[in-house]
């Protein structure tokens, strides 16, 4: 069927195919602000698809300020994302800069679409010496680094895990819902195409049924004409039979007269006998022709009966086709409503 569409492969989908980024961005911003947690969403290749939400000065102005620090952050995020994807659930860990981060995978039927990276918080009060050492490793001012870490939010680890789980559940529900919506839309489009094709076929069948019905009416009319002609032939045959009978009587009378005439009537007697023979042959021929015409009338009558039954069947089929067409039109209307629902973005 022309309207049939290829089944969508989950592995070929991108995160942006199943999640409305505007909705995700707003949710991410509000969640980050409400929980005091930084966050950003990346695709399965690690490329950001949203803007960073609630990023700290410690990370933006210091850790990411140097090439070494930025590279370490990328590697740390990658390791966290891979572990979260392996586990199939949020993973909480300590980043290279000593902050608590988390990775919440966005999965669809077991396939990774992207990851929400977040955190930039502490589980305990920071130790200055630890951050001075890190500052030296990445090449930033140690005093400024230590001062910046003092402004990092401190959250209990179970709250961080709970926040990661909330992001995980919401983002995955969004992706799953959007994916099902895509499937619904594809199914509705396929169904709609099929119904249009069925409707077109029904219309063609209805037109054909009408033509068959019209042709059958014409055929019945022609058959009736044949029946009338056959009746006329029978009438002619009856007339010929009467003529043959009269001719036979004339031949008989002529034979009698020839016998009375004796020798003079011998030739006339031969002619009279031939006339009688011709009359007999004509009568037999008429009987055969009449037999044939009677058989023709029987066949014609049988054809008329069959034609009447065919016409009745065609009329029933035409009525059934009209009912099916009405049902298809109703289904088409329903698919249009489903299509409207399927096109409503989550």
Q: Is 117 left (phi over 0), alpha (psi -120 to 50) or beta?
A: beta
Cross-strand partners of 154: 122
The residue extents of the domains of the chain are 10-155, 190-342
Residues of the chain with pLDDT under 50: 1-7, 345-346
| Cβ neighbours of residue 146 closer than 8 Å, sequence gap 6 or more | 126, 128, 131, 132, 135
Cβ atoms 329, 196 nearer than 8 A: no
pLDDT of residue 5: 46
Classify domain 190-342 at the CATH class level: mainly alpha
Q: Count CB neighbours of 155 within 10 A.
A: 19
Over residues 17-71, the pLDDT tens digits come to 988 899 999 999 999 999 999 999 999 989 999 999 999 999 999 999 999 999 9
| Cβ neighbours of residue 113 closer than 8 Å, sequence gap 6 or more | 13, 14, 15, 18, 19, 43, 44, 106, 107, 175
CATH topology of domain 10-155: Beta-Lactamase (3.30.450)
pLDDT of residue 268: 63
The CA dihedral of 326, 332, 335, 336, to the nearest 10 degrees, is -120
pLDDT of residue 151: 95
- Dist CA 167 CA 118 (whole Å): 10
pTM as predicted: 0.61
| Torsional sign, CA 161, 165, 168, 170 | negative
pLDDT of residue 344: 58
- Dist CA 174 CA 100 (whole Å): 26
Share of the chain above pLDDT 70, in %: 78
């Amino acid at each position: 069927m022309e309207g049939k569409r290829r089944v969508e492969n989950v592995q070929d989908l991108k995160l942006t195919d199943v999640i409305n980024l505007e909705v995700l961005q707003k949710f991410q911003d509000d969640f980050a602000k409400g929980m005091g947690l930084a966050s950003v969403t990346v695709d399965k290749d690690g490329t950001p698809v949203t803007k960073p939400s609630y990023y700290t000065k410690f990370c933006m102005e210091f850790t990411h300020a140097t090439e070494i620090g930025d590279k370490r952050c990328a590697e740390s995020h990658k390791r966290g994302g891979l572990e979260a994807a392996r586990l199939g659930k949020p993973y909480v860990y300590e980043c290279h800069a000593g902050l608590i981060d988390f990775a919440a995978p966005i999965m669809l039927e077991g396939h990774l679409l992207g990851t929400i990276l977040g955190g930039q918080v502490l589980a305990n009060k920071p130790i200055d010496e630890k951050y001075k050492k890190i500052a030296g490793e990445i090449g930033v001012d140690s005093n400024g680094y230590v001062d910046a870490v003092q402004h990092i939010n401190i959250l209990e680890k179970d709250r961080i895990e709970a926040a990661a789980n909330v992001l995980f559940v919401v983002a995955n529900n969004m992706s799953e819902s959007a994916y099902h919506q895509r499937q619904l839309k594809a199914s509705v489009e396929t169904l709609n195409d099929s119904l249009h094709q069925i409707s077109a076929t029904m219309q063609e069948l209805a037109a054909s049924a009408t033509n068959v019905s019209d042709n059958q009416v014409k055929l019945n009319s022609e058959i009736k004409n044949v029946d009338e002609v056959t009746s006329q032939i029978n009438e002619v045959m009856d007339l010929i039979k009467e003529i043959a009978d009269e001719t036979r009587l004339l031949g008989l009378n002529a034979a009698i007269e020839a016998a009375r005439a004796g020798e003079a009537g011998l030739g006339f007697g031969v002619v009279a006998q031939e006339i009688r023979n011709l009359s007999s042959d004509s009568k037999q021929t008429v009987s055969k022709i009449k037999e044939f015409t009677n058989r023709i009338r029987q066949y014609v009558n049988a054809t008329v009966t069959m034609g009447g039954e065919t016409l009745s069947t065609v009329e029933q089929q035409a009525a059934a086709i009209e009912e099916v067409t009405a049902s298809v039109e109703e289904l088409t209307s329903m698919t249009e409503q489903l299509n409207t629902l399927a096109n409503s973005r989550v």
